């Protein structure tokens, strides 16, 4: 079975209507993101015949909800979506500190990278998502919110921190981002691509004029190559040296504070969280350009023996970085009761939370 993403609806449209002008595709893309448009029948700028064909041939939305769960505190919601082939993947909506919403989108069904502390990694890779299946996660959450007018309506941020490794599916990720930039009020600095650090793709992005100027977060998790490889098995030779160089090259292109790079560092008790690791991290960060460090307390994952660092351990680790003048933030854990927190997305049934759809 192939793990390639399915074709995009634009390609299908061009097969059906090869003579249509390019603006037609843009018009249709806008229609998908217009709240008053609820199906092909409402796109009255298209001829009746064209609409009739499209109704038969192209689903109005590429992924359909199977189950929606809301966390007990009401600040996190998770949906299980079915793609065109009925394969399932997950997407998360989280309240953010702007009083608006951040969506955490998936780029693949499962993941081949096999990071040892991540539930998605245990699924292996089923397949990549098409750009439509990525972009439509935004559309799904917009319609979810429209049905709940008592909630804030704006999705102000998107993070690629759901299932999958975005840089293994980079063309579809890029296409989805361009769609959001063209059809929603999201700006590039409100979109973050989180990656395990696929160096050849990171390096290619530097030369790609079509790469949108979004934020990039690198899942670092260890200041040294060998210890990183034990928890992130895809760690390439000379990972840290190449990554440090990459941050400088990136800075030279996007030399602007709004495009800073973040290192994500999941703190795992007894694995990467002692004071010595923190000192080594300081040493490594000093070799990079302006980066921010975001520490993530480990979220529990079934069947894994790892545990989160203690509160005291997290504070000591953060204080060492802060004392060295490094910009450190800690990710607030959300949605654990519905298995919607970072690294927990693996289509497991949770007992917590409330099924709302």
Distance CA 217, CA 252 (A): 17
Q: Which of 93, 113, 308, 339 binds ligand SF4 (CB under 6 A)?
A: 113
Q: Which is nearer to ligand SAH, 62 or 195 (CB)?
A: 195
Q: What is the nearest approach in angstroms of ligand SAH to the Cβ of residue 167?
A: 8
The verdict on 196 binding ligand SF4 (CB under 6 A) reads: yes
Q: Which is nearer to ligand SF4, 118 or 278 (CB)?
A: 118
Q: Tell me how many residues contact ligand SAH (CB under 6 A).
A: 17
Residues annotated as catalytic (active site), given as ranges: 90, 342
The verdict on 123 binding ligand SF4 (CB under 6 A) reads: no
Q: Which is nearer to ligand SAH, 40 or 250 (CB)?
A: 250
Q: Which is nearer to ligand SAH, 95 or 173 (CB)?
A: 173
Residue ranges in 317-356 that form contacts with ligand SF4 under rule CB under 6 A: 343
The entry of ligand SAH, ligand SF4, none near residue 266 (CB within 5 to 8 angstroms by kind) is ligand SAH
Interaction mask 137-176, ligand SF4, x per CB under 6 A = ---------------------------xx-----------
The verdict on 235 binding ligand SAH (CB under 6 A) reads: no
The verdict on 118 binding ligand SF4 (CB under 6 A) reads: yes
Which stretch, 3-11, 108-116, 309-317, 319-327, contacts ligand SF4 (CB under 6 A)?
108-116
Q: What is the nearest approach in angstroms of ligand SAH to the Cβ of residue 105?
A: 10
Which stretch, 57-65, 114-122, 127-135, 325-333, contacts ligand SF4 (CB under 6 A)?
114-122
The verdict on 197 binding ligand SF4 (CB under 6 A) reads: no
Contact predicate 219/113, CB 8 Å: no
**Rg, the chain, Cα only:** 21
Q: Which of 81, 298, 326, 347 binds ligand SAH (CB under 6 A)?
A: 298
* Three-class SS of the chain: CCCCCCCCHHHHHHHHCCCCCHHHHHHHHHHHCCCCCCCHHHCCCCCHHHHHHHHHHCCCCCCEEEEEEECCCCCEEEEEEECCCCCEEEEEEEECCCCCEEEECCCEEECCCCCCCCHHHHCCEEEECCHHHHHHHHHHHHHHHHCCCCCCCCEEEEEECCCCCHHHHHHHHHHHHHHHHHHCCCCHHHEEEEECCCHHHHHHHHCCCCCCCCEEEEECCCCCHHHHHHHCCCCCCCHHHHHHHHHHHHHHHCCCHHHCEEEEEEEECCCCCCHHHHHHHHHHHHCCCCEEEEEEECCCCCCCCCCECCHHHHHHHHHHHHHCCCEEEECCCCCHHHCCCCCCCCCCCCCCCEECC
Residue ranges in 143-172 that form contacts with ligand SAH under rule CB under 6 A: 160-161, 165
For binding to ligand SAH (CB under 6 A), which residues are involved? Answer: 117-118, 160-161, 165, 194-196, 219, 264, 266, 296, 298-299, 301, 342-343
Residues contributing to the site for ligand SF4 (CB under 6 A): 111, 113-115, 118, 120-121, 164-165, 196, 219, 343
């Amino acid at each position: 079975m192939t793990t390639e993403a399915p074709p995009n609806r634009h390609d299908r449209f061009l097969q059906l209507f090869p003579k249509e002008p390019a603006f037609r595709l843009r018009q249709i893309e806008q229609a998908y993101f217009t709240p008053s448009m609820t199906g092909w029948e409402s796109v009255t700028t298209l001829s009746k015949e064209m609409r009739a064909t499209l109704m038969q041939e192209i689903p109005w939305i590429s992924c359909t909800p199977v189950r929606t769960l809301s966390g007990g505190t009401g600040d996190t919601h998770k949906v299980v979506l079915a793609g065109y082939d009925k394969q399932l993947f997950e997407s998360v909506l989280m309240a953010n500190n702007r009083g608006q919403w951040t969506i955490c989108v998936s780029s693949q069904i499962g993941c081949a990278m096999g990071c040892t502390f991540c539930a998605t990694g245990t699924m292996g890779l089923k397949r990549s998502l098409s750009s439509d299946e990525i972009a439509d996660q935004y559309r799904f959450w917009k319609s979810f919110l429209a049905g709940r007018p008592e909630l804030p309506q704006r999705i102000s941020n998107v993070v690629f921190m759901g299932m999958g490794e975005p840089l293994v599916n980079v063309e579809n990720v890029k296409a989805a981002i361009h769609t959001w930039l063209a059809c929603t009020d999201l700006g590039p600095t409100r979109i973050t691509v989180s990656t395990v650090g696929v160096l050849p793709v990171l390096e290619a992005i530097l030369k790609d004029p079509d790469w949108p100027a979004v934020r990039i977060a690198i899942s670092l998790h260890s200041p040294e190559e060998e210890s990183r490889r034990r928890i992130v098995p895809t760690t390439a030779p000379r990972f840290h040296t190449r990554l440090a160089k990459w941050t400088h090259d990136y800075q030279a292109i996007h030399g602007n504070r709004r495009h800073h790079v973040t290192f994500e560092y999941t703190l795992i008790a007894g694995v990467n969280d002692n004071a010595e690791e923190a000192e080594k991290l300081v040493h490594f960060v000093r070799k990079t350009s302006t980066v921010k460090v975001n520490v993530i307390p480990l979220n529990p994952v079934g069947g894994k023996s790892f545990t989160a660092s203690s509160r005291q351990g997290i504070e000591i680790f953060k204080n060492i970085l802060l004392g060295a003048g490094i910009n450190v933030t800690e990710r607030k854990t959300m949605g654990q009761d519905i298995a919607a927190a970072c690294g927990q997305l693996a289509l497991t049934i949770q007992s917590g939370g409330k099924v709302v759809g």
